[in-house]
């Protein structure tokens, strides 16, 4: 059923966090979007109470220093707007490095985005220093391990079950690119820098980018992306 | 060799809050480096989040970038981890806009808001590839300019700077830029011309001599163009407030839109340097503030708007202003804040207007615990007023009140300190009656540090042992559930007091402390006072001479050649009245007190096209 006029409207926004802003934190990014939308005079829905906050939720926080090619957030408006108009107005207010790629209207009753993220795909660019075979050996030995006990901020955990996929994607003259799919969610979240460290490549990492979020149920697209209207 | 940019990249992931160093914020102005003739850096000697909360720097950034042939870029002090990383990789300190090292600019302007930032100035010059001492720099180096309240006694920094701007920078900075257009920056000629500009102080054109007892004998000009006394600059009318201000990504200490609704203050609190040096009072008109607010919020998206001034409640149409701002912007979930509330029923009514349903906390500053001592400092506030306001605040829904006090004020005795404790207990009891267990009270006690150009400029900083005794009395008496007491380290105050009223010999001390590793002295986690005491000792100087000494009234003060517009006679008169415990009326409420500001600026005071001065017309009535 299409949401009725006068009701709150939920928009699902696909965006990129580029080089220029890759060092800003998740909270900084939230403020960036809130202020850009306020400048664009978007009718944001605010929570009730002493400290009203706009209803903007980003599916999966991105670690500082990592770019994101297709990040996703939901924004709730207190009065409906055509997705195209939303996109046009907000794009004018974005600093370099933040780009709005797609906007779609989704059912307001869908579960919160954060609960639906199951995994994420990353590409890491690593400075070369050895042959493709040597890098493959590092990968094989990592994937061959039954356990990868690690420690992060005083917490011990096993990295191995969080790695769904890890492979050498390409090898150039001076750099090679690794691709990985890491589990995300309540059962534990794999961090690409931890994987690279476990591979012994931490010192050679040049860039990491998150290319895609994987949602559950394990379909190709985020849940409920039914074409209520898109741009 | 790797480029600075790639080095930067590989380092930043291990740096605290790396976005402090990457720029690209909304409304930042990036001009074409090669196509812009005059290049200015605006430097703030503290971390990004503090510097980005400074309105003064943003005013100058806006003003300079409006000039087609000028680019103004920003730089803040790198935190110690970043400084190490930069030194390790040989990367110079660069600006946020075009990432050029400081030494490639024409002018480097530092804001000097606080004495404990001084070592950060040295860090920034050094990392920026600029020799620390002005005499070591030649035509190939930028000119180092200091501005802000620190320039009312810049002597401890004199050897590091080419010139200081005393007073308000809006017009002078453009004149200094004009001099760049005409002369480039051939240093000798530039400084000779600059010294003729009103408000410009070129320290190398003055010689300081000392008596055998260590006091200043005199400061004499050594250059034909150097004036015997430098009078501060003011703008007769406040220029339009900036609206396209830079919106930080990293949360600033004051992360909100700011409008300066008035400059200057007429209350005349005797401890307050700002109240003396920012005279005269100049208000913006209501309409100007309303249209500025409109533009500022549209250009930034800020969710909070602060009405900035030394005493916002004294703005002549404050109620009207708050009401209209709320009616216009409240529905967009924009909150309005007033940083300085008086402790009276009027202020409370205002607070009720702008805080609406969200009654989190209210802050007041009685400053002293006893009425006697409040008379000494000219803080007109009766015991009854304080209790009534506190009662009204708790009763009308606030459950948290914060009170600011100072200890170590001139003539203060243990009874005055006990009066703080008993006042606090009375307020606590009032809170209990009104709000029961929910009532909270926090008490913040700062050490009074005497400042130049105030009626207390001759007064000593209290001895550490006495301060500690007073602290322990307060700690003993102010305790209990829902009562919080905070205070500052007295050692920090000694350092602040010494630097604040120091002379030129302290430059060697600052240099020695910096070489010994002093950084971010305003940050308790970074300050190591022993470094400073060692630095004083290495120069054969005693911090007590500067901090703890009652200065004779006839002593030549190190800043006597700098004129704030308020006369030394007036300050002296106020000092004597303070010892007699005599109140001096707010000069908008009584007769002209002849503080000197009207005599100093006879021309400017006639130029009242928009806005107005709080001063009474000579021979006429107020306003």
Whether the per-residue pLDDT at B106 is higher than 90: the answer is yes
Do the Cβ atoms of A21 and B358 come within 8 Å? no
Residue B333 forms contact with A (CB below 8 Å): yes
Which residue, B603, B551, B594, B590, is CA-closest to B573?
B594
Q: Give contacts of B297 with chain A, Cβ < 8 Å.
A: 38
Looking at the complex, does the CB of residue B3 fall below 8 Å from at least one CB of chain A?
no
Nearest to B119 by CA among B560, B535, B452: B535
The encoded tokens of residue B584 equal 């001096």
Mean pLDDT of A162-186: 92
Residue A4: predicted pLDDT = 47
Residue B80 contacts A where some CB pair is shorter than 8 Å: no
- What are the distances in angstroms from CA A203 to CA A129, A171, B196, B560, B606? 11, 18, 56, 57, 67
pLDDT attached to residue B526: 94
Q: Sorting pLDDT into bands at 50, 70 and 90, what band is B5?
A: low
Q: Model confidence over B271-300: pLDDT tens digits? A: 999 999 999 999 999 999 999 999 999 999
Confidence of residue B621 (pLDDT cuts 50, 70, 90): very low
Nearest CB neighbour to A28, from listed B9, B250, B302: B250
Q: What's the pLDDT score for residue B397? A: 83
Q: What's the rounded mean pLDDT across residues B466-495?
A: 94
CA–CA separation, B190 vs B200, rounded Å?
12
Chain A positions touching B299 (Cβ under 8 A) are: 39
Residue entry with tokens 């994607």:
A169
* B387–A contact, CB cutoff 8 A: no
Partner-chain residue, chosen from A32, A37, A52, that has the shortest CB–CB distance to B249: A32
Alpha-carbon gap, residue B143 to B184, rounded angstroms: 11
Mean pLDDT of B46-50: 98
Q: For residue B286, with 0-12 CB atoms within 10 Å meaning exposed, 13-18 middle and 19 or more buried, which class applies?
A: middle
Which residue of chain B is at minimal alpha-carbon distance from A44? B332
Average pLDDT of the residues in A2-14: 76
Q: How far is B86 from chain A (nearest CA, A)?
A: 17
Per the CB < 8 A criterion, the answer to whether B306 and B254 are in contact is: yes
| Residues B450/B153, Cβ–Cβ less than 8 Å | no
Confidence of residue A229 (pLDDT cuts 50, 70, 90): low
pLDDT attached to residue A113? 92
Which chain A residues are Cβ-neighbours of B250 within 8 angstroms?
A: 24-25, 28
Contact (Cβ atoms closer than 8 angstroms) between residue B520 and residue B494: no
Q: Which two tokens stand for residue B92?
A: 């110079």
Instruction: Give the residue from B614, B560, B611 showing the smallest Cα distance to B216.
Output: B560
Task: State whether residue A54 is helix, strand or coil.
Answer: strand
Tokens of B85: 């990383």
Contact B238, B260 (CB under 8 A): yes
Classify the phi-psi angles of B277: left when phi > 0, otherwise alpha if psi is within -120 to 50, otherwise beta: alpha
Average pLDDT over residues B484-511: 96
Q: What is the pTM (predicted TM-score) of this model? A: 0.93
Chain centroid, CA A24 distance in Å: 14
Residue B360 touches partner A, C-beta closer than 8 Å:
yes
Residue B610: predicted pLDDT: 42
**Is A143's pLDDT higher than 60?**
yes
A188-197: per-residue pLDDT in tens?
Answer: 899 999 999 9
Token pair of B292, please? 């500025």
Q: Using the beta-carbon criterion (under 8 Å), do A23 and B360 form an inter-chain contact?
A: no
B302 neighbourhood in chain A, CB within 8 Å: 35, 38
Of B55, B49, B27, the C-alpha closest to B251 is B49
Would you say the C-alpha torsion A91, A94, A95, A97 has a positive or negative sign? negative
Q: How far is CA B71 from the centre of its chain?
A: 25
pLDDT in tens, B296-343: 999 999 999 999 999 888 899 999 999 999 999 989 999 888 877 888
**Mean pLDDT across A217-222:** 52
Q: Write out pLDDT tens, residues B382-425.
A: 999 999 999 998 988 888 999 999 999 999 999 999 999 999 99
A52 CB neighbours in chain B (<8 A) are 333
Residues B213-269 pLDDT 10s: 999 999 999 999 999 999 999 998 999 999 999 999 999 999 999 999 999 999 999
Q: In this predicted structure, what is the pLDDT of residue B356?
A: 66
The candidate with the shortest Cα–Cα distance to A101, out of A214, A215, A212, A216, is A212
Q: Residues 180-219, chain A: which have Cβ within 8 Å of B? A: 193, 206
Question: What is the pLDDT at residue B619?
Answer: 42
What count of other Cβ atoms lies within 10 Å of the Cβ of residue B294? 14
pLDDT at A28: 97
**A218 phi, psi to nearest 5 deg:** -65, 65
Neighbours of B512 (CB within 10 A): 18
- Residue A169 forms contact with B (CB below 8 Å): no
Is A64 touching B (CB cutoff 8 A)? yes
Distance between CA B152 and CA B184 in Å, rounded? Answer: 28
Task: Determine the Cα–Cα distance for residues B411 and B464; give it in Å rounded to an integer.
Answer: 16
Q: Write the residue in B298, B358, B360 that is nearest to A39 by C-beta.
A: B298
Distance from CA of B301 to the nearest CA of A (A): 4
**With 90 as the cut, is the pLDDT of residue A29 above it?**
yes
Tell me the chain B residues in contact with residue A50 when contact means C-beta distances shorter than 8 Å: 357-358, 360
pLDDT at B563 (0 to 100)? 97
- Inter-chain residue contact B24 with A20, CB threshold 8 Å: yes
Q: Is B544 at the interface with chain A, CB within 8 A?
A: no
Give the pLDDT mean for B74-102: 95
Which site among A28, A32, A38, A50 would you substitute to test the B interface, given the most B Cβ atoms closer than 10 Å to its Cβ? A38
CA distance B61 to chain A (A): 19
Q: How confident is the model at residue B112 (pLDDT cuts 50, 70, 90)?
A: very high
B429 touches chain A (CB under 8 A): no
B26 in reach of chain A (CB within 8 A): yes
Pair A14, B281: CB distance under 8 Å: no
**pLDDT score, position B26:** 98
Selected residue of A20, A24, A43 to mutate for chain B interface (largest B Cβ count, 10 A): A24
pLDDT in tens, B566-576: 999 999 999 99
Residues A51-93 pLDDT 10s: 789 999 999 999 999 999 999 999 999 999 999 999 999 999 9
Question: What is residue B579's predicted lDDT score, i.e. its pLDDT?
Answer: 95
| Predicted ipTM > 0.90 | yes
> Which SS3 state, helix, strand or coil, does residue A62 take?
coil
Query: How far apart are alpha carbons B80 and B530 in whole angstroms?
Result: 18
Contacts of A89 (CB under 8 A, 6+ apart): A40, A41, A42
Per-residue pLDDT tens over the stretch B178-229 = 999 987 769 999 999 999 999 999 999 999 999 999 999 999 999 999 999 9
Residue A14: is the preceding peptide bond cis (ω within 30°)? no
CA distance linking residue B393 with residue B399, whole number of Å? 8
B422 φ/ψ angles, rounded to the nearest 5 degrees: -75, -35
Nearest chain A Cα distance for residue B99, angstroms: 13
Percentage of the residues of chain A whose pLDDT score is greater than 70? 91
A174 compared with A13, residue with greater pLDDT? A13
Cα-Cα-Cα-Cα torsion A42, A43, A46, A52, nearest 10 degrees, comes to 70
Q: CA–CA separation, B564 vs B568, rounded Å?
A: 9
Write down the mean pLDDT value for chain B: 93
Secondary element (H or E) of residue A152: strand A149-152
């Amino acid at each position: 059923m299409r949401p009725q006029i006068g009701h709150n409207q939920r928009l699902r926004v696909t965006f990129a966090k580029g080089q220029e802003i890759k060092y800003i934190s998740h909270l900084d990014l939230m403020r960036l979007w809130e202020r850009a939308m306020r400048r664009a005079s978007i009718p944001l829905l605010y929570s009730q109470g002493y400290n009203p906050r706009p209803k903007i939720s980003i599916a999966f926080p991105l670690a500082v220093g990592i770019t994101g090619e297709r990040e996703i957030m939901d924004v709730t408006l207190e009065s409906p707007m055509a997705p195209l108009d939303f996109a046009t107005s907000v794009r004018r207010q974005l600093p370099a490095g933040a780009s709005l790629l797609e906007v779609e209207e989704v059912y307001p009753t869908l579960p919160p985005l954060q609960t639906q993220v199951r995994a994420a795909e990353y590409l890491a660019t690593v400075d070369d220093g050895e042959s493709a075979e040597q890098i493959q050996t590092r990968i094989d030995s990592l994937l061959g391990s039954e356990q990868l006990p690690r420690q992060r901020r005083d917490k011990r955990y096993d990295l191995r079950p969080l790695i769904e996929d890890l492979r050498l994607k390409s090898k150039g003259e001076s750099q090679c690119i690794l691709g990985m799919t890491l589990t995300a969610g309540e059962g534990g979240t794999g961090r690409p820098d931890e994987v690279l460290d476990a591979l012994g490549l931490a010192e050679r990492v040049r860039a990491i980018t998150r290319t895609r979020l994987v949602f559950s149920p394990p379909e190709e697209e985020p849940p409920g992306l039914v074409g209520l209207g898109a741009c | 060799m790797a480029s600075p940019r790639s080095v930067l990249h590989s380092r930043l992931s291990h740096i605290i809050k790396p976005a402090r160093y990457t720029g690209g914020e909304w409304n930042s102005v990036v001009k074409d480096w090669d196509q812009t003739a005059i290049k200015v850096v605006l430097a703030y000697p503290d971390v990004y989040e503090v510097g980005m909360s400074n309105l003064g720097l943003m005013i100058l950034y806006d003003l300079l970038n409006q000039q087609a042939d000028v680019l103004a870029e920003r730089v803040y002090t790198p935190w110690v981890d970043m400084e190490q990383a930069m030194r390790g990789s040989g990367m110079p300190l660069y600006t946020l806009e075009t990432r050029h090292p400081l030494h490639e600019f024409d002018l480097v302007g530092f804001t000097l808001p606080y004495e404990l930032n001084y070592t950060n100035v040295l860090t920034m010059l050094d990392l920026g590839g600029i020799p620390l001492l002005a005499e070591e720099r030649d035509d190939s180096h930028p000119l180092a300019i200091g501005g802000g309240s620190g320039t009312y006694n810049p002597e401890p920094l004199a050897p590091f700077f080419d010139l200081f701007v005393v007073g308000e920078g809006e017009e002078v900075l453009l004149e200094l830029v004009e001099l760049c257009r005409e002369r480039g920056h051939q240093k000798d000629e530039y400084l000779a011309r600059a010294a003729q500009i009103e408000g410009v102080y070129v320290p190398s054109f003055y010689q300081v001599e000392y008596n055998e007892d260590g006091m200043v004998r005199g400061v004499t000009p050594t250059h034909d163009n150097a004036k015997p006394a430098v009078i501060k600059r003011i703008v007769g009318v406040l220029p339009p407030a900036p609206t396209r201000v830079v919106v930080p990504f990293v949360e600033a200490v004051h992360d909100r839109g700011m409008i300066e609704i008035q400059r200057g203050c007429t209350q005349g609190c005797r401890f307050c340097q700002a109240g003396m040096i920012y005279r005269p009072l100049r208000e913006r008109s209501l309409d100007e503030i309303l249209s500025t607010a409109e533009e500022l919020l549209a250009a930034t998206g800020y969710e909070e708007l602060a009405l900035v001034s030394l005493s916002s409640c004294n703005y002549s149409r404050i109620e009207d202003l708050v009401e209209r701002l709320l009616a216009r912007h409240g529905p967009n979930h924009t909150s309005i804040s007033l940083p300085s509330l008086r402790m009276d029923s009027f202020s409370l009514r205002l607070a009720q207007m702008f805080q609406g349903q969200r009654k989190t906390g209210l802050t007041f500053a009685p400053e002293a615990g006893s009425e006697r001592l409040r008379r000494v400092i000219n803080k007109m506030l009766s015991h009854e007023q304080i209790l009534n306001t506190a009662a009204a605040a708790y009763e009308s829904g606030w459950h948290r009140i914060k009170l600011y006090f100072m200890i170590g004020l001139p003539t203060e005795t243990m009874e005055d300190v006990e009066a703080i404790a008993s006042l606090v207990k009375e307020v606590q009891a009032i809170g209990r009656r009104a709000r029961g267990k929910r009532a909270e009270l926090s008490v913040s006690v700062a050490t009074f540090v005497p400042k130049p150009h105030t009626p207390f400029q001759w007064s000593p900083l209290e001895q550490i042992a006495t301060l500690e005794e007073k602290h322990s009395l307060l700690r003993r008496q102010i305790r209990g559930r829902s009562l919080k007491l905070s205070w500052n380290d007295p050692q920090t105050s000694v350092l602040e007091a010494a630097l604040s009223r120091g002379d030129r010999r302290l430059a060697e001390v600052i240099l020695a402390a910096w070489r010994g590793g002093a950084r971010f002295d305003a940050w308790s986690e970074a300050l190591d006072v022993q470094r400073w005491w060692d630095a004083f000792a290495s120069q054969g100087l005693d911090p007590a001479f500067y901090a703890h000494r009652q200065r004779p009234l006839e002593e030549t003060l190190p800043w006597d050649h700098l004129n704030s517009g308020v006369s030394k006679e007036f300050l002296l008169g106020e000092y004597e009245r303070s010892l007699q415990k005599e109140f001096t009326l707010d000069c908008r409420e009584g007769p002209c007190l002849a503080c000197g500001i009207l005599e100093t600026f006879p021309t400017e005071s006639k130029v009242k096209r928009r806005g107005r001065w709080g001063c009474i017309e000579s021979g006429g009535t107020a306003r």
